[in-house]
């Protein structure tokens, strides 16, 4: 089944076809319910865009998947492994199979670009220092940065270059899955478009599955195979962008039907 054919939240496909499987996910902060009975399958090799209004827990969901915040209830399986029931060794191995680009990059401000990219290589591999440096420089260039930027601190880079530096760190280990949280936020349209094209290129080159949180309608159009809309604590709608636009109701109808939506999607 191709991503374009998958238009329901639960696909019931074998683990070999699914990169991320969420079942019965709940996330609560005291009396505040963010997610309740959330189910979702993300196919291997697809780019899925995650959208939702303010407070729908897009970043919270990502953090539950990558092991930063346990869900209140439910099962998170990534590449066939239960994230929250794995033993420490299995969990460390699993951590090395995904890369994460957080909002605003989350680079270490006192480290150079190269030193930031070296962090996952030093944490998860025993490669000789010289080889690690070669890989770090390769990833910097793959992320679209000139090698002359490798010795610069994040404060010496433009916003778009910091995003690319964070992307270089996220792909340092040749991950199976790439998590991108608002990767084009704050970028001008031209830079954002180039970033989308870079993400598409890396997906094909590295065979990535991409979990992409965004409000950018151009990114949904240009980079995503499917879109999952969060509302009322669960996945309210999922499918290719055209399918969601055609069947949009409530917040999603406003999202696609507003002036920016009409301008971006035609």
Number of domains in the chain: 1
End-to-end alpha carbon distance in the chain: 28
Query: Picking from 45-59, 165-179, 206-220, 247-261, which range would have the lowest pLDDT averaged per residue?
Result: 247-261
* 185 domain-assigned: yes
Give the Cα separation of 111 and 122 in Å (integer): 14
Residue 60 lies in a domain: yes
DSSP string, 156-217: GS-HHHHHHHHHHHHTTT--SEEEEESTTTT--HHHHHHHHHHHHHHHHHHT-EEEEE---H
Q: Judge whether 32 lies within some domain.
A: no
Given this model, what pLDDT does residue 258 score? 64
The pLDDT tens digits of the residues spanning 93-118 come to 999 999 999 987 689 999 999 999 99
Domain that holds residue 184: 44-67+98-265
> Does 31 fall in a domain?
no
Q: What is the pLDDT of residues 129-173, one digit of tens each?
A: 999 999 999 999 999 999 999 999 999 999 899 999 999 999 999
Q: Is residue 239 part of a domain?
A: yes
Q: How far apart are CA 31 and CA 217, in angstroms?
A: 33
In a domain, 200, yes or no: yes
Residue 262 has pLDDT above 80, yes or no: no
Q: What is the pLDDT of residues 178-192, one digit of tens each?
A: 999 999 998 999 999
At 193 the pLDDT is 95
- The torsion angles phi and psi of 130, rounded to 5 degrees, stand at -65, -40
Residue 132 lies in a domain: yes
- Report if residue 212 sits inside a domain: yes
CB atoms within 10 A of CB 132: 18
Report pLDDT digits (tens) over 28-43: 999 999 999 999 999 9
> Residue 150 sits in a domain of what CATH number?
3.40.50.300
């Amino acid at each position: 089944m191709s991503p374009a054919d998958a238009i329901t939240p639960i696909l019931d496909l074998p683990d070999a076809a699914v990169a991320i499987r969420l079942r019965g996910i709940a996330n609560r902060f005291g009396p505040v319910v963010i997610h309740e009975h959330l189910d979702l399958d993300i196919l291997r090799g697809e780019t899925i865009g995650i959208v939702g209004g303010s407070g729908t827990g897009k970043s919270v969901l990502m953090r539950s998947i990558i092991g930063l915040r346990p869900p209140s209830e439910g099962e998170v399986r990534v590449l066939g492994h239960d994230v929250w029931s794995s033993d420490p060794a299995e969990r460390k191995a699993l951590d090395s199979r995904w890369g994460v680009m957080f909002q605003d990059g989350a680079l270490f401000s006192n480290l150079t670009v190269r030193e930031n990219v070296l962090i996952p290589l030093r944490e998860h591999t025993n490669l000789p220092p010289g080889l690690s440096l070669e890989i770090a420089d390769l990833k910097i260039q793959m992320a679209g940065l000139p090698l002359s930027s490798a010795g610069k601190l994040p404060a010496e880079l433009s916003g778009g270059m910091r995003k690319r530096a964070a992307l270089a760190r996220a792909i340092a280990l040749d991950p199976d899955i790439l998590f991108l949280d608002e990767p084009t936020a704050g970028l001008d349209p031209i830079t954002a478009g180039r970033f989308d094209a870079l993400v598409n290129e890396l997906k094909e080159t590295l065979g990535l599955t991409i979990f992409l949180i965004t409000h950018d309608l151009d990114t949904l159009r240009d980079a995503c195979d499917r879109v999952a809309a969060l509302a009322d604590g669960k996945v309210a709608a999922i499918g290719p962008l055209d399918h969601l636009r055609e069947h949009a109701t409530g917040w999603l109808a406003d999202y696609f039907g507003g002036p920016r939506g009409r301008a971006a999607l035609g």
